[in-house]
C-alpha cells in the first residue's frame, strides 16, 4: 500500500477509537442532551469514514459506512430510540467496518457487503423508523419566534424540536450580543457552557438592539431551566432569555393517539441518577506528527539530559559562592525534562480499555449465537499500551476469546451436570511487569483436552507413539501450524488455522504466548508483550562499579549500614529469616568480600504465597524515574529488561522476576557446593 496514505490510516484508527468510546456512553443511563451529543458524534464519525473510503477508492466500504450513517441520522432525528439491542447492533456494525479497514490496509480485496452479518438487524431498524401513515408531526410552529427565524431551522433541527417537546422538555432562547473582534471565541465558549445544561438545538442570527454594537445571536436550547450563573457571560453580552415553547401546550391527543410519533419520539429520560460522561460536544484539536519527528525530539531531549547531568556533576564538585542554589535549579531542570519525556511517551499511548471495548460486543454476539451464557470481566483497563500495538493485538485477542467460547466453555446443561453455574466465565486481566505488558485470558470451561491433542498430534506426525509428552509439550502442540482437534469446521473455529497465526503475531511483536489448563476447571492463555518504551520508577543501586535500576514495585525493604554480609547468609526482615545472595553472583560477576547493603525483592506466587530474597549490593544510590528502552544487545541478557541512557553511560534496569530466579538458582548451587 502507498505510504502516502499513512496519515489517512492513522486518522481512521482515531475515528474508530472515538466511535468505541462514544458508543460506551450509550450503555449507561444518560441525560437526553448527552445521548444526543453522542449520536451526533457517531453520525459525524461515520460520515467522515464514508468520505475517506470514497477518496481511497473503496466503494463497498463507503456504501457500508453510508448505511451506518443513515442509522445514526435516524437516531439523531428522533426516529429511532436508543436501546440495549440497538447499541449492540451499532457496535457490531462499527467492529465490522473496523475489521474491514484493517483488511484493506493489508491489501485484501473488498467483500460485497461489510455488514452482511447484521443485515437482518439493520433492515428491521430501517423498517421501524419509516414514517407512519400521514407523515411525521412538526411542532416547530409552537416556537415563539418570527417567521423568518422558523424558516431558518434545518430539517434536522425541526425533528429535534418536535421530539424534545414530545418528550416534555421545554425549549428556551438565550439572546446574546458579542464584540466583533472576539465573537467567534465567545460564541464557542457560551455554546459549550449552554450545551452542558441541555441540548443546544440551533444558533440563529438575531437583531442587534439599539444602542449596542456587535453581532447578535439566539441560542435555542432544550433544558428544564437555564442557569445563567453557570454561563461565562461578560458585561453587556446578555440581551434576554425567554421560554420559546412549553411542552405542556402540546395537545394530549398527539402524545397519546399518534401511533407513528410514539414509535419515533425518544422516551423521556429521567435526569437522575445520571452517569457523568465527558462533554462530547467539545471538539479537541488533533495534530498528526510523523513518528520519526517525535523520535528525533526524544533523542534531542536525551542529549539535553546528558548535558544536564554533566553540569550537575560539575556543580557538585565545585559548589562555588552561590552554594546550593544552582544545584536546586538543576534538580528542577531534571524534573522538567523528565515530565516532557513522559508527555512525549503518552502521545504514543492509549488505554487498554480501548482494546477491551472491542471484545465485549463480540462476546455478547457469540454468547447469543452459541446459546452459552457468558460472564465477561476485565481488569487493568487503566493501563496504557502503545497505539501501534493496539491494532496488532486486536485480531489475536478476538481469536483467543472466540476459541474460549467455542472450545472451552461447556453448554449450560453440561455445566449444570458438572456442578458449575449455568453461565461460563471469561476473565481478561492486564498487568505491567516492568517493560512488559501481561495479558491473562482465563475461562472456567472444560480445559484443553490433552488426550485428544496427543492423539491428534500422533495422527499428524508431530508426536511418536509411546513418547508420554508432558502437559507443557501438549499445550505447545496446540500452537503448531495447521493443528486443530475439531473434525469439522464450525462457524467460529476448527478450520486448522488461527492459533499458530496468533503465536506468530505475538512473537513478531517480541512477545511470548503460553497455554495451560486443568481438566474441567478451565484454561489460562498468557500473552507477554514488551513495550518499546516505558517510564519506570526504580531504586538505583551500585554493583561491581555499574549502576543498576530495580523497579520499585518489587522492592519490599531496603537496608544499609549493617554488619558485613555474604552470599548464602540469612537476614531477619519483619521477623522472617530470608536468604541473602549478592547481585554480582546473580549476574555472573566477581563477588565482593562482603556487602553492608541489601534490597529485599518480592514476587507474588500463583498460590497467593510470596517469594522473597535479600539481594546484596555495594551501595544504594536512591530512587528515580527512568525512561526505559529496549536495546537489541540485551535481547538474551539474563536478568535485564532494558536500559536508560545516563551521563555516565547506560543504566541497566533489572527484571525482578528473572533476578529472583537467578538468585534462587545461585543459592541452590551454594547449598549443593557446585
pLDDT value at residue 443: 95
- For 620-634, the pLDDT digits (tens) are 988 877 777 655 555
Confidence of residue 309 (pLDDT cuts 50, 70, 90): low
- For 505-543, the pLDDT digits (tens) are 888 888 889 999 999 899 999 999 887 666 777 899 998
The cell for 639 is 536478568
pLDDT value at residue 483: 72
Report the alpha-carbon distance of residue 448 to residue 443 in Å, rounded: 11
Mean pLDDT score, 78-91: 83
Based on the fold, state whether residues 461 and 339 are members of the same structural domain.
Answer: no
pLDDT value at residue 492: 45
Confidence of residue 291 (pLDDT cuts 50, 70, 90): low
> Residue 100: pLDDT above 70?
yes
- Is residue 270, in this structure, part of any structural domain at all? no
> Residue 146: pLDDT above 80?
yes
- Is residue 284, in this structure, part of any structural domain at all? no
Based on the fold, state whether residues 522 and 392 are members of the same structural domain.
Answer: yes
Report the alpha-carbon distance of residue 180 to residue 189 in Å, rounded: 15
CATH number reported for the structural domain that contains residue 561 in this entry: 2.30.30.40
Highest mean pLDDT among 323-332, 391-400, 536-545: 536-545
* Of 2 and 320, the one with more pLDDT: 320
Q: Are 20 and 358 in contact (CB under 8 A)?
A: yes
Handedness of CA 637, 639, 645, 650 (dihedral sign): negative
CA-angle at 178, arms to 177 and 179, nearest 5°: 135
The cell for 215 is 453581532
Based on the fold, state whether residues 389 and 443 are members of the same structural domain.
Answer: yes
Q: Which of 52-61, 131-140, 340-349 has the lowest mean pLDDT?
A: 131-140
CATH number reported for the structural domain that contains residue 79 in this entry: 1.20.120.160
Confidence of residue 343 (pLDDT cuts 50, 70, 90): confident
**Quick one: which of 396, 384, 395 has its CA closest to 354?**
384
> Residue 266: pLDDT above 60?
no
Length of the chain: 674
Based on the fold, state whether residues 616 and 469 are members of the same structural domain.
Answer: no
Confidence of residue 670 (pLDDT cuts 50, 70, 90): confident
DSSP string, 386-449: EHHHHHHHHHHHHHHHHHIIIIISPPHHHHHHTT--SSEEEEEEEEEETTEEEEEEEE-S----
Handedness of CA 664, 667, 672, 674 (dihedral sign): positive
- Is residue 431, in this structure, part of any structural domain at all? yes
Based on the fold, state whether residues 500 and 574 are members of the same structural domain.
Answer: no
Q: Which of 188-202, 325-339, 463-477, 649-663 has the lowest mean pLDDT?
A: 325-339
Mean pLDDT score, 156-165: 86
Confidence of residue 9 (pLDDT cuts 50, 70, 90): confident
DSSP string, 335-362: HHHHHHHHHHHHHTEEETHHHHHHHHHH
Based on the fold, state whether residues 155 and 260 are members of the same structural domain.
Answer: yes
Cα distances from 195 to residues 190, 229, 279, 461, 649, in angstroms, run 8, 14, 9, 67, 54
Q: Which of 111-115, 131-135, 247-251, 636-640 has the lowest mean pLDDT?
A: 131-135
Highest mean pLDDT among 168-172, 279-283, 558-562: 168-172
- Is residue 222, in this structure, part of any structural domain at all? yes
Facing residues of 214 across strands?
none
Global pTM value: 0.57
Handedness of CA 653, 656, 662, 664 (dihedral sign): positive
Indicate the residue among 128, 150, 166 that finishes a domain. 128
Confidence of residue 6 (pLDDT cuts 50, 70, 90): low
Based on the fold, state whether residues 365 and 505 are members of the same structural domain.
Answer: yes
Total domains in the chain come to 5
Residue 185 CA, chain-centre distance (Å), reads: 32
Q: Are 112 and 60 in contact (CB under 8 A)?
A: yes
Indicate the residue among 530, 561, 577 that finishes a domain. 530
Mean pLDDT score, 337-349: 72
In the predicted model, what is the mean pLDDT of the chain? 80
- For 606-623, the pLDDT digits (tens) are 333 467 899 999 989 888
Q: Is 481 helix (H, G, I), strand (E, B) or coil?
A: coil
* Of 481 and 604, the one with more pLDDT: 481
Q: What is the dihedral of CA 218, 219, 220, 224, to 10 degrees?
A: -130
Query: Taking the CA atoms of the chain, what radius of gyration do you get in angstroms?
Result: 32
Confidence of residue 581 (pLDDT cuts 50, 70, 90): very high
The cell for 464 is 511418536
- Is residue 271, in this structure, part of any structural domain at all? no
Based on the fold, state whether residues 69 and 178 are members of the same structural domain.
Answer: no
Report the alpha-carbon distance of residue 189 to residue 448 in Å, rounded: 59
> Residue 276: pLDDT above 50?
no
Confidence of residue 61 (pLDDT cuts 50, 70, 90): very high
Based on the fold, state whether residues 339 and 465 are members of the same structural domain.
Answer: no
- Is residue 280, in this structure, part of any structural domain at all? no
pLDDT value at residue 264: 39
Highest mean pLDDT among 214-223, 265-274, 506-515: 214-223
Based on the fold, state whether residues 428 and 561 are members of the same structural domain.
Answer: no
Confidence of residue 281 (pLDDT cuts 50, 70, 90): very low
Report the alpha-carbon distance of residue 329 to residue 267 in Å, rounded: 61
Say which residue the cell 522476576 belongs to: 657
Sheet (strand 436-443) strand order: 374-379, 424-433, 436-443, 522-530, 512-518
Confidence of residue 2 (pLDDT cuts 50, 70, 90): very low
Indicate the residue among 93, 128, 163 that finishes a domain. 128
Q: Is 231 helix (H, G, I), strand (E, B) or coil?
A: coil
Cα distances from 343 to residues 48, 154, 549, in angstroms, run 29, 43, 22
Q: What is the DSSP letter of 493?
A: S
The cell for 150 is 422558523
Domain range for 340 is: 291-347
- Is residue 282, in this structure, part of any structural domain at all? no
Say which residue the cell 503465536 belongs to: 503
Based on the fold, state whether residues 396 and 463 are members of the same structural domain.
Answer: yes
- Is residue 562, in this structure, part of any structural domain at all? yes
CATH number reported for the structural domain that contains residue 456 in this entry: 3.30.565.10
Based on the fold, state whether residues 72 and 180 are members of the same structural domain.
Answer: no
Report the alpha-carbon distance of residue 638 to residue 666 in Å, rounded: 13
> Residue 133: pLDDT above 70?
no
Amino acid at each position: 500500500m502507498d505510504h502516502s496514505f499513512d496519515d489517512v490510516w492513522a486518522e481512521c484508527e482515531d475515528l474508530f477509537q472515538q466511535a468505541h468510546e462514544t458508543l460506551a456512553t450509550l450503555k449507561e443511563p444518560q441525560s437526553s442532551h448527552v445521548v444526543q451529543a453522542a449520536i451526533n458524534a457517531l453520525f459525524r464519525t461515520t460520515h467522515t469514514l464514508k468520505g475517506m473510503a470514497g477518496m481511497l477508492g473503496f466503494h463497498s466500504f463507503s456504501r457500508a459506512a453510508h448505511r451506518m450513517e443513515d442509522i445514526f441520522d435516524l437516531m439523531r432525528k428522533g426516529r429511532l430510540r436508543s436501546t440495549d439491542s440497538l447499541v449492540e447492533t451499532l457496535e457490531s456494525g462499527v467492529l465490522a467496518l473496523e475489521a474491514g479497514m484493517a483488511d484493506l490496509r493489508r491489501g485484501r480485496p473488498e467483500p460485497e457487503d461489510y455488514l452482511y452479518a447484521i443485515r437482518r438487524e439493520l433492515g428491521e431498524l430501517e423498517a421501524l423508523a419509516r414514517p407512519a401513515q400521514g407523515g411525521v408531526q412538526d411542532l416547530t410552529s409552537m416556537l415563539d419566534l418570527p417567521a423568518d427565524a422558523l424558516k431558518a431551522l434545518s430539517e434536522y433541527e425541526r425533528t429535534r424540536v418536535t421530539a424534545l417537546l414530545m418528550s416534555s422538555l421545554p425549549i428556551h432562547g438565550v439572546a446574546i450580543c458579542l464584540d466583533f473582534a472576539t465573537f467567534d471565541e465567545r460564541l464557542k465558549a457560551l455554546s459549550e457552557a449552554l450545551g452542558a445544561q441541555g441540548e443546544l438545538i440551533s444558533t440563529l442570527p438575531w437583531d442587534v438592539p439599539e444602542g449596542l454594537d456587535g453581532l447578535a445571536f439566539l441560542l435555542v436550547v432544550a433544558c428544564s431551566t437555564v442557569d445563567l450563573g453557570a454561563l461565562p457571560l461578560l458585561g453587556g453580552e446578555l440581551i434576554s432569555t425567554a421560554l420559546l415553547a412549553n411542552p405542556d401546550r402540546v395537545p394530549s391527543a398527539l402524545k397519546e393517539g399518534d401511533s407513528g410519533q410514539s414509535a419515533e419520539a425518544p422516551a423521556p429520560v429521567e435526569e437522575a441518577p445520571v452517569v457523568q460522561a465527558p462533554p462530547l460536544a467539545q471538539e479537541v484539536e488533533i495534530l498528526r506528527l510523523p513518528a520519526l519527528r517525535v523520535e528525533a525530539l526524544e533523542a534531542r531531549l536525551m542529549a539535553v539530559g546528558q548535558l544536564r547531568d554533566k553540569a550537575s556533576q560539575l556543580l557538585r564538585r565545585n559548589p562555588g559562592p552561590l552554594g546550593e542554589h544552582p544545584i536546586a535549579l538543576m534538580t528542577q531542570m531534571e524534573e522538567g525534562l523528565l515530565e516532557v519525556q513522559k508527555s512525549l511517551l503518552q502521545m504514543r499511548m492509549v488505554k487498554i480499555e480501548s482494546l477491551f471495548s472491542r471484545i465485549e460486543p463480540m462476546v455478547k454476539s457469540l454468547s447469543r449465537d452459541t446459546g452459552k451464557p457468558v460472564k465477561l470481566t476485565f481488569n487493568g483497563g487503566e493501563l496504557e499500551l502503545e497505539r501501534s500495538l493496539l491494532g496488532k493485538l486486536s485480531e489475536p485477542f478476538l481469536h483467543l476469546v472466540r476459541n474460549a467460547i467455542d472450545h472451552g466453555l461447556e453448554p449450560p446443561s453440561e455445566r449444570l451436570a458438572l456442578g458449575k453455574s449455568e453461565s461460563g466465565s471469561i476473565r481478561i486481566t492486564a498487568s505491567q511487569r516492568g517493560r512488559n505488558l501481561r495479558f491473562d485470558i482465563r475461562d472456567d470451561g472444560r480445559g484443553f483436552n490433552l488426550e485428544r491433542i496427543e492423539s491428534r498430534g500422533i495422527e499428524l506426525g508431530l508426536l511418536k507413539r509411546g513418547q508420554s509428552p508432558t502437559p507443557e509439550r501438549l499445550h505447545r502442540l496446540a500452537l503448531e501450524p495447521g493443528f486443530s482437534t475439531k473434525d469439522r469446521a464450525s462457524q467460529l473455529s476448527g478450520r486448522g488455522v488461527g492459533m499458530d497465526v496468533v503465536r506468530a503475531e505475538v512473537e513478531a511483536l517480541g512477545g511470548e504466548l503460553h497455554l495451560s489448563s486443568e481438566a474441567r476447571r478451565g484454561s489460562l492463555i498468557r500473552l507477554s508483550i514488551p513495550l518499546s518504551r516505558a517510564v519506570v520508577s526504580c531504586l538505583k543501586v551500585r554493583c561491581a562499579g555499574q549502576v543498576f535500576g530495580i523497579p520499585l514495585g518489587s522492592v519490599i525493604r531496603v537496608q544499609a549500614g549493617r554488619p558485613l554480609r555474604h552470599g548464602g547468609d540469612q537476614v531477619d526482615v519483619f521477623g522472617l529469616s530470608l536468604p541473602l545472595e549478592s547481585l554480582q553472583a546473580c549476574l555472573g560477576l566477581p563477588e565482593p568480600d562482603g556487602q553492608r547493603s541489601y534490597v529485599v525483592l518480592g514476587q507474588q506466587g500463583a498460590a497467593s504465597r510470596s517469594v522473597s530474597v535479600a539481594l546484596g549490593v555495594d551501595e544504594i544510590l536512591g530512587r528515580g524515574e527512568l525512561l526505559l528502552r529496549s536495546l537489541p544487545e540485551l535481547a538474551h541478557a539474563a536478568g535485564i529488561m532494558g536500559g536508560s541512557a545516563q551521563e555516565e553511560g547506560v543504566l541497566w534496569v533489572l527484571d525482578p522476576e528473572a533476578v529472583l530466579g537467578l538468585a534462587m538458582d545461585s543459592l541452590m548451587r551454594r547449598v549443593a557446593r557446585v
